[in-house]
Structure 1
Amino acid sequence: MSTVMKKAWGYRYWVLIILWLVYIINYFDRMAVLTFLPYIQQDLNLTPVEVGQLASVFFFAYAAAQISAGFLADKFGSKKVMYIAVIVFTFVTALTGVVKNFAQFIALRIGLGLGEGHHFAPAIRAINNWFPFKERGRAVSFFATSWAVAPAIVPVIVTSISIYFFDGAWRPVFFVLAIPGVLAIFLLWRFVADSPKEMIEKGRLSEDQEIEENNTGPVKMTKEEKRKSYGVFLKDLNFYVFTLCLFCQLAVYWGTSTWLTSFLVTQHGLNLKEMGLFASAPYIVAFFAMMLGGWLMDNVVHRMKPVALIGYLGSIPVLWMLGSVDKGNTGMLLTLLLLVGFFVNLNFGSIYAYLPKRYPKEIVGSATGLANGIGQMGSFVSPLIAGYLVTVGADGTQDFSKVFIFFAIVSALAALCAFILKENKADQVSAKLDEQKSVV
């Protein structure tokens, strides 16, 4: 790739692809743990409740990090925050291969959550800086497919590495996963900047007429102006309705992702290779669902609500039925897994495009970080509750039917939030910010 592009604004697609690849690497680390979870549980002699606690503590740290990540990205720039995030989660992932007990695992899960939690909001802010308003739905939807592509390929890749290189052992796989982390650091350093203006000023890109107002980056504001600007979303009731909707969506997504491999191994008796294939199935469909949701938002309905309602209402019956599929009925199991992948993920791209479309770029990093920080508590609560809902028989067998009924109920709550959510045009909100700045 040439260091100087004729079309600076066209370079945004390279930036998007790199951000997408780096976030896939982020997901490799967390999904590897979830893929091997039934075997880690066996090796460390963990109960279902302890497994739920391990999953939940990660998301507690992840949620807390989301809030600080947004503010740090607004203050220091997206690239610096992402650098630190990748270094931390790469180091912690390598250490996972030597974990010996529950307490050590808890500490590592907290470290991984803090590292990965500082990645998302800066990435969304970078996309917001590089892409014009009319393309943000599609851009964020494409970025969101990283958490469809990664779960689709990670179970197959890590189980294959385990089977063909380490005789089924899970620990050495985590040492290998440090290599993609180093690659991510290089990609960020070499090809990404916080905004087009930054790369133009450094002489790495040449300016052209396609660049819009986004190339300038955030407007410099005083502390008082910044404080008042936060009121644009903190005083917006719809911001909290949206956050609750996101809470529910993440609760369902990460609840199912956390317990899926254990469900397949313990309730349906799949071996390591079969489990890897079936665990990937929902996320293969998820990629297309996310892209479809973003396309519908940008080109058809121009709103998040209709996409959300289709996704949430469709999730209710398929989740409910998934938990009660008879053992051995692999055809029905696979069908429902594919449907879950479609409906649960349909709204992912469009829901994260809501805030960039609604709020000015000066505060979108903070708004995204706060909303995602609170919303990620759904990821914390859901696996924990699910751990208590797993029914363990006298012979050690486990039943997950109540777990998936719980996920279906949460999907219904998400549908209610989406129904009452109002979507004003972003320029109306921007006008409020301009008015506030003119008063100061």
Structure 2
Amino acid sequence: MATVIKKAWGYRYVVLVILWLVYIINYFDRLAVLTFLPYIQEDLNLTPVEVGQLASVFFFAYAAAQISAGFLADKIGPKKVMYIAIAVFTAITAFTGAVKNFTQFILLRIGLGFGEGHHFAPAIRAINNWFPSQERGRAISFFATSWAVAPAIVPVIVTSLSFYLFGGDWRPVFYILAIPGVIAILALWYFVTDTPKEMIDKGKLSEDQDIDQSTASPAETISKEEKRKSYGLFLKDFYFYVYTLLLFCQLAVYWGTTTWLTSFLVTQHGLNLKEMGFFVSAPYIVAFFAMMLGGWLMDKVFYRMKPVALIAYIASIPVLWMLGAVEKGNTGLLLALLLLVGFFVNLNFGSIYAYLPKRYPKDVVGSATGLANGIGQMGAFVAPLVAGYLVAVGADGSQDFSRVFIFFSIASAVAAFCAIVLKEKPVDNIAAPIIDEKQTI
């Protein structure tokens, strides 16, 4: 049978979709824990502070893993790093179903954080390798919708599995979630290579005039000395750290709300397992469209991230504040505010990760992404932990989350200030100068 040779310019979208699907599987594992958190808390007799510690320790390990993930993606290639990451987090997810106490859970959360933390930067590096610079905003925005689609479908799927197959038991669901991890490894092996050039060399793609040949060149095309100087382009750049603080606040709000949303709905608003699954999914349904809109606005309207960021963060301040103050029983207003939170918190999520590939040369974008995301993920570590202390527990055991959402509003305000300060003009690479894309489109 003759080998089917696909056009390289079209196949990059196949690679993007596979990376997107695989990252949804990544989110299945972490979001299953957050979905069942109020029931795990009851089963293991955990306090709100302990729940916050469990959520935060994952992100501490996840943040630490980002730095090595970016370095490894540049050194050995993104595909190998993703293989390791998926194998680790798949095994640990299966073990989570057998957890018996707080200490075991802490250790598993650390392991899951290290495993999943080595997935993101390699995926971004692979997209950067496959897509020309003028398409990366939209490509990364589409990839970013994986963390809108996953939270939209995971709560419904895992709660349905628990309710209909296991009588409300959360533990067997984690054993089932090992299966998608195996599928993810096979999909990467068959469909993805680190660069278009590798796929062409294997005879699976044809040379085509529409492919951006710069995406086919590996990082090794410049010398070690030039690469060392290139690292200084972001390490010595003041705006890299402004961006990192902005990312810190963005992730604090996103993961703070995602971590505590199920507990907020179950304990403060009294929703049952089935109702909670629907309400948790609602904000992430609109988040998908918000992320795609943000990427389109960045690439086609503003040519910059800053206007998108300001719209997102300024609007997030009041809607987060009001969400925490909704009275119990007012489900209509609760749902409306959840939808608004889902839209504005996620509007800048795709475009925010397109900032680094647009500002810095591709030779170091993996390391820059890993470092920035590693520091930024500390926001995801801090927010659930702080929120655990801000939950007000009444004498009757009731819980009030109003102070938690005020905290998230303040984080959005800090992000808005960072967006005002941020500069986006591309930095020249010693080895390969970057052209202002606004002038070339």
**TM category, shorter:** over 0.9
In 2, the alpha carbon distance for the partners of 1:13 and 1:346 equals 22
Please report how far the alpha carbon of residue 220 of structure 1 lies from its aligned counterpart in structure 2 after TM superposition.
Answer: 3.3
In structure 2, the residue corresponding to 1:134 is in which secondary structure? helix
Residue by residue, what CA displacement relative to the aligned partner does 1:215-269 show, whole Å, maximum 9, x if unpaired? 1222434433322210010011110000000000000000000000000000000
The worse-fitting range, judged by mean Cα deviation, of 219-228 and 12-21 is 219-228
1:127 equivalenced with 2:122 (yes/no): no
Q: Which residue of 1 aligns with 2:368?
A: 367
In structure 1, the residue corresponding to 2:219 is in which secondary structure? coil
Residue by residue, what CA displacement relative to the aligned partner does 1:194-230 show, whole Å, maximum 9, x if unpaired? 0100011111111111121211222434433322210
TM-score (norm 1): 0.97
Task: Check the 8 A contact 2:229/2:430 in 1, yes or no.
Answer: no
Letter paired with 1:340: V
In 1, the alpha carbon distance for the partners of 2:350 and 2:276 equals 27
1:282 equivalenced with 2:283 (yes/no): yes
Letter paired with 1:292: L
In structure 2, the residue corresponding to 1:40 is in which secondary structure? helix
Q: Structure 1 pair 182/90, CA: closer, same or farther in 2 (3 Å)?
A: same
Q: Which residue of 1 aligns with 2:358?
A: 357
- Residue of 414, 425, 428 corresponding to 1:430: 428
CA RMSD of aligned residues (A): 1.1
Residue by residue, what CA displacement relative to the aligned partner does 1:396-416 show, whole Å, maximum 9, x if unpaired? 000000000000000000000
Please report how far the alpha carbon of residue 3 of structure 1 lies from its aligned counterpart in structure 2 after TM superposition.
Answer: 5.7
| 1:27-426 to 2 correspondences below 5 Å | 27-212=27-212, 213-424=214-425, 426=426
Letter paired with 2:172: P
In 2, the alpha carbon distance for the partners of 1:135 and 1:5 equals 24
Q: Which runs of 5+ in 2 are unaligned?
A: 434-441
In 1, the alpha carbon distance for the partners of 2:5 and 2:157 equals 35
Q: Which residue of 1 aligns with 2:21?
A: 21
Task: Check the 8 A contact 1:126/1:195 in 2, yes or no.
Answer: yes
In 2, the alpha carbon distance for the partners of 1:272 and 1:141 equals 32
Please report how far the alpha carbon of residue 433 of structure 1 lies from its aligned counterpart in structure 2 after TM superposition.
Answer: 4.6
Please report how far the alpha carbon of residue 108 of structure 1 lies from its aligned counterpart in structure 2 after TM superposition.
Answer: 0.2
In structure 2, the residue corresponding to 1:208 is in which secondary structure? coil
Letter paired with 2:89: F
Q: What's the % identity of the aligned pairs?
A: 80
Q: Which residue of 1 aligns with 2:437?
A: none
Letter paired with 1:223: K
In 1, the alpha carbon distance for the partners of 2:13 and 2:230 equals 30
Please report how far the alpha carbon of residue 41 of structure 1 lies from its aligned counterpart in structure 2 after TM superposition.
Answer: 0.2
Letter paired with 1:415: A
In 1, the alpha carbon distance for the partners of 2:429 and 2:56 equals 40
Q: Which residue of 1 aligns with 2:438?
A: none
TM-score (norm 2): 0.96
Residue by residue, what CA displacement relative to the aligned partner does 1:1-39 show, whole Å, maximum 9, x if unpaired? x96334112100000000000000000000000000000
Please report how far the alpha carbon of residue 432 of structure 1 lies from its aligned counterpart in structure 2 after TM superposition.
Answer: 4.0
Residue by residue, what CA displacement relative to the aligned partner does 1:124-169 show, whole Å, maximum 9, x if unpaired? 0000000011100000000000000000000000000000000000
Task: Check the 8 A contact 1:3/1:205 in 2, yes or no.
Answer: no
In 2, the alpha carbon distance for the partners of 1:431 and 1:86 equals 33
In structure 1, the residue corresponding to 2:259 is in which secondary structure? helix
Letter paired with 1:272: L
